[in-house]
């Protein structure tokens, strides 16, 4: 079945490219992009059109690093040092997800918040709880948020949230057996090297290889953490090698942060096909620093963006995009590396993440539509008619969910 969307089409098919089609037509066949056109081809003249008038139709957002059970602590504890923040808020909050009723309520609210904010693909950390993780996956699927979710593994230095090693492994197996979702798939999630014993890391690496499962974790977020990994793994010259040793450093492994990744670590990422997930708000909130995003891109590392709630305080990915621009401007002041332009940062927070999951580059034909429609008519009255490039930039900076008129995920309108 053919359906057609009419409006101003804007997409970023590659890093640094922004293409606009004023008053264009996006043709879908069973939710799959068939093509984008400045005028409607004759053959589709009789097909139904959803007319978004002057609205902006753009690929939706993809959030490749966030902690679902930290949603209840969003915007709190931001004045605390990292370890106090973990003890006072993070571990206690995550422990609460033992309660499946509570998990259901919070995860339903999170899923709703994500889809109405235009985020249609995620790579997400759950807590250690198998049942709550399955509930999270179910709620995301119901809301139309697709991607990967991981039950967290942590059998060391994780306070209230800690597991025993055997329990961590057996619960991971139980979780995998119960992952029967169409749009939300499992990803192995050792929290990070300091919170996993060697035995657990080895078991997860084996599982990743045997079942061809993707992996997500954290890398080189701050100096204390890097030093600790050095103590725990004296045989590893660098942090990333603690993952490589156990088979967790592989194609499509997602590594959040990479704030302090030097050129050797970056080269190892590029070589293995490991992705860096840049979380600018979190890195500033926790005084971790500003990640070398431009350098990572130039080294051939795949980069995507993450909200990293609740180290990050903003779930809306347009705000995350803006924060990544701001962080890159700080980086430019420090090092001279050119800042991320709005189209570049939007690419990282949208198309880059979509392609991680096999999605299309912008509105590439042959891929299920993931898109948002923005009504910017309530933004301040400009002095003259704006170009689509200007309206795009302004929307990224100023919009919130009130301006999101429609959201399409996997070819289906969900908002």
Backbone angles phi, psi at 95, to 5 degrees: -60, -30
Q: Which of 6/329 has CB closer to a second copy?
A: 329
Cβ atoms of 320 and 86 within 8 Å: the answer is no
Q: Which stretch binds a second copy (CB under 8 A): 57-65, 91-99, 151-159, 226-234?
A: 91-99
Which residues are within 8 A (CB) of 99 and not within 5 positions of it... i.e. 6 or more apart?
Answer: none
Q: Which of 298/400 has CB closer to a second copy?
A: 400
Token duo for residue 75: 């915007």
- Compose the 390-409 pattern: x for residues touching a second copy by CB under 8 A, - for all others: x--xx-xxx-x-x-------
Q: Which of 72/360 has CB closer to a second copy?
A: 72
| Residue 289 is a binding residue for a second copy (CB under 8 A) | yes
Among 19, 29, 49, 92, binds a second copy (CB under 8 A): 92
Q: Whole-number minimum distance, CB 336 to a second copy, in Å?
A: 11
Q: Which of 19/393 has CB closer to a second copy?
A: 393
Positions in 63-82 near a second copy (CB under 8 A): 71-79
Q: Which of 56/254 has CB closer to a second copy?
A: 56
Among 25, 85, 339, 347, binds a second copy (CB under 8 A): 339
Q: Which stretch binds a second copy (CB under 8 A): 58-66, 211-219, 233-241, 281-289?
A: 281-289
Q: Whole-number minimum distance, CB 276 to a second copy, in Å?
A: 20
Q: Which of 128, 121, 168, 125 is nearest to 144 (CA)?
A: 121
Q: Which of 370/403 has CB closer to a second copy?
A: 403
Torsion of CA 235, 236, 237, 241, to 10 degrees: 160
Token duo for residue 332: 């430019």
Among 139, 155, 265, 313, binds a second copy (CB under 8 A): 313
Q: Which of 74/236 has CB closer to a second copy?
A: 74
Positions in 145-174 near a second copy (CB under 8 A): none
Q: Which stretch binds a second copy (CB under 8 A): 104-112, 134-142, 192-200, 363-371?
A: 104-112
Q: Which helix (H) or strand (E) holds 374?
A: strand 371-374
Strands (E), 30-106: 32-37, 49-59, 61-67
| Residue 329 is a binding residue for a second copy (CB under 8 A) | yes
| Residue 347 is a binding residue for a second copy (CB under 8 A) | no
Cβ atoms of 120 and 61 within 8 Å: the answer is yes
Q: Which of 137/321 has CB closer to a second copy?
A: 321
Q: Which of 305, 307, 311, 290 is nearest to 75 (CA)?
A: 311
Q: Measured between alpha carbons, how far is 153 from 193 in angstroms, rounded to an integer?
A: 10
Among 341, 361, 364, 411, binds a second copy (CB under 8 A): 341
Token duo for residue 348: 């990282």
Cβ atoms of 411 and 28 within 8 Å: the answer is yes
| Residue 285 is a binding residue for a second copy (CB under 8 A) | yes
Cβ atoms of 5 and 25 within 8 Å: the answer is yes
User: How many residues at the interface with a second copy, by CB under 8 A?
Assistant: 51
Q: Measured between alpha carbons, how far is 388 from 381 in angstroms, rounded to an integer?
A: 15
Q: Whole-number minimum distance, CB 105 to a second copy, in Å?
A: 6
Among 123, 322, 352, 372, binds a second copy (CB under 8 A): 322
Per the omega criterion (within 30 degrees of 0), is the bond before 297 cis?
A: no
Backbone angles phi, psi at 45, to 5 degrees: -55, -30
Residue with token string 């339903």 = 108
Among 209, 333, 366, 412, binds a second copy (CB under 8 A): 333
| Residue 106 is a binding residue for a second copy (CB under 8 A) | yes
DSSP class of residue 113 equals H
Q: Whole-number minimum distance, CB 342 to a second copy, in Å?
A: 6
Q: Max alpha carbon distance in the chain (Å)?
A: 68
Q: Which of 135/281 has CB closer to a second copy?
A: 281
| Residue 284 is a binding residue for a second copy (CB under 8 A) | yes
How many CB atoms sit inside 10 A of residue 250's CB?
17
Cα end-to-end span (Å), the chain = 20
Q: Measured between alpha carbons, how far is 78 from 75 in angstroms, rounded to an integer?
A: 7
157 phi-psi bin (left φ>0, alpha ψ -120 to 50, beta other): left
| Residue 382 is a binding residue for a second copy (CB under 8 A) | yes
Rule CB under 8 A: which residues touch a second copy? Answer: 71-79, 92-93, 96, 102, 105-106, 109-110, 113, 281, 284-285, 287, 289-290, 313, 322, 325-326, 329-330, 332-334, 339, 341-342, 379-384, 386, 390, 393-394, 396-398, 400, 402
């Amino acid at each position: 079945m053919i359906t057609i969307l009419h409006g101003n089409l804007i997409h970023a098919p590659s890093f640094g490219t922004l293409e606009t089609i004023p008053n264009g037509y996006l043709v879908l066949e069973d939710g799959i992009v068939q093509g984008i056109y400045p005028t409607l081809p004759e053959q589709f003249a009789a097909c139904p059109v959803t007319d978004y008038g002057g609205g902006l139709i753009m690929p939706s957002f993809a959030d490749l690093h966030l902690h679902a059970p930290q949603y209840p602590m969003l915007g709190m504890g931001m004045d605390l040092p990292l370890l106090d923040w973990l003890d006072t808020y993070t571990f206690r909050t995550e422990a609460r997800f033992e309660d499946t009723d509570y998990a259901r309520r919070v995860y339903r609210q999170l899923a709703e918040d994500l889809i109405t904010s235009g985020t249609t693909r995620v790579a997400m950390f759950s807590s250690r709880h198998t049942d709550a993780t399955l509930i999270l996956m179910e709620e995301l699927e119901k809301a139309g948020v697709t991607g990967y979710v991981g039950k967290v593994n942590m059998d060391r230095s994780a306070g209230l949230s800690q597991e025993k090693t055997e329990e961590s492994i057996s619960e991971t197996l139980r979780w995998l057996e119960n992952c029967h979702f169409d749009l939300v798939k499992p990803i192995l999630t050792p929290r990070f090297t300091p919170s996993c014993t060697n035995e657990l890391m080895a078991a997860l690496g084996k599982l990743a290889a045997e079942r061809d499962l993707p992996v997500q974790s954290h890398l080189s977020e701050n100096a204390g953490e890097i030093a600790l990994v050095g103590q725990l793994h004296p045989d590893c010259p660098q942090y990333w090698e603690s993952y490589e040793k156990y088979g967790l450093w592989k194609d499509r492994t997602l590594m959040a942060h990479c704030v302090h990744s030097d050129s050797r670590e970056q080269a190892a990422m590029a070589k293995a096909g490991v992705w860096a997930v840049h979380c600018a708000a979190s890195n500033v909130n926790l005084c971790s620093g500003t990640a070398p995003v431009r350098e990572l891109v130039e080294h051939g590392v795949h980069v995507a963006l993450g909200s990293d709630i609740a180290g990050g305080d903003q779930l809306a990915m347009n705000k995350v995009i803006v924060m990544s621009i701001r962080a890159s401007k700080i980086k430019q002041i420090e090092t001279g590396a050119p800042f991320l332009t709005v189209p570049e940062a939007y690419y990282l927070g949208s198309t880059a993440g979509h392609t991680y999951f096999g999605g299309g580059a912008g509105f590439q034909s042959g891929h299920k539509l993931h898109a948002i429609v923005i009504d910017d008519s309530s933004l301040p009255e400009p002095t003259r008619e704006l170009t689509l490039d200007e309206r795009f930039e302004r929307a990224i900076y100023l919009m919130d969910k009130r301006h999101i008129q429609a959201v399409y995920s996997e070819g289906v309108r969900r908002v």
